Amino acid sequence: MHEGIYIAASAGLKQGKKLEVIANNLANVNNTGYKRDRLVFKEFMPPYAPDAGLEAGKNILLPAEKSNSNVAYVGISDYYTDLTPGALKQTGNSLDLALSGPGYFSVSTPGGERYTRNGNFRLDTKNQLVNQNGAPVLNIEGNPIVINIPGADIAIDGLGNVSAGRGLTNQALGRIKLVDFENPKTLEKIGDGLFHQINPEAEVKTTSETIISQGFLENSNVTTVEEMTDMLATLRLFETYQKMIQSIDSMDDQSVNDIGRVG
């Protein structure tokens, strides 16, 4: 088979992967605190490393030992999450919290401590401050925050200090734990707006510049117009590679027929 078909197929399949990422971003455009994903493409030149793997550079159809060493392929060199903060929207709900600055809320899950920018919290039946899936929000001691004062006004200041009471008598109930990490690439998305720290030796960084805004939520950082524009451009590229494959296949077919007639 013509090597050009493999080259075009390699690039086309990578554009198909990009379409999947864009579609996922658009599906989460209205999810509080969602961070969009991005792909980075790179031209991989020979010679290829023996253990580089198909996704690392060579086209995903042709094994390395059969690939033309004079041909470069399109590969995905990086898959990352854009952690740019989203815009804040005011809700007026005293348990809605947004972060202005780097960092994450800490919540307790059956799988351990997890991190989120989604501050859409509520009180559960135990009067614990929890996220929408019931995971308790942790204080700086690593314990759930309990607000067991029925009918009280809940106040949360910019540093995360929680208090509740009626009128002039407010009771301090703890401080919300905020964390950040030196290398954000060690955080892995696990769904429901949560991140998991995949490096057990990662050091927690202080978040002294981060401010909590009560009565606000952070929008996703997905821009619909930008994603749609990127999707259209990606579709055109994908269609171009399809046409290239069809053209090369047509030329091969014509060559075979012509050679057969000459013989």
Q: Among residues 131, 34, 21, which one has the least CA distance to residue 85? A: 34
Alpha helices in 101-221, H assignment, sequence order: none
Do you find a cis peptide bond into 47, omega within 30 degrees of 0? yes
Tokens of 36: 């969009």
Q: Report phi then psi at 202, rounded to 5.
A: -65, 135
Among the residue ranges 71-75, 105-109, 128-132, 201-205, the one predicted with the least confidence is: 71-75
What is the tens place of the pLDDT at every residue in 163-220?
Answer: 998 877 789 999 999 999 988 888 999 989 999 999 888 888 877 789 999 999 999 9
- 71, pLDDT greater than 80: no
For residue 57, what pLDDT band results from cuts at 50, 70 and 90?
Answer: very low
| Sequence spans of domains, the chain | 3-83+222-262, 88-218
User: Bigger pLDDT: 109 or 12?
Assistant: 109
For residue 65, what pLDDT band results from cuts at 50, 70 and 90?
Answer: low
- 51, pLDDT greater than 60: no
User: What does the pLDDT read at residue 255?
Assistant: 61
Residue 105 near residue 97, CB atoms below 8 Å: yes
Q: Report phi then psi at 22, rounded to 5.
A: -65, -45
Alpha helices in 28-97, H assignment, sequence order: none
User: What does the pLDDT read at residue 188?
Assistant: 92
- Name residue, tokens 């607000």: 147
User: Bigger pLDDT: 52 or 131?
Assistant: 131
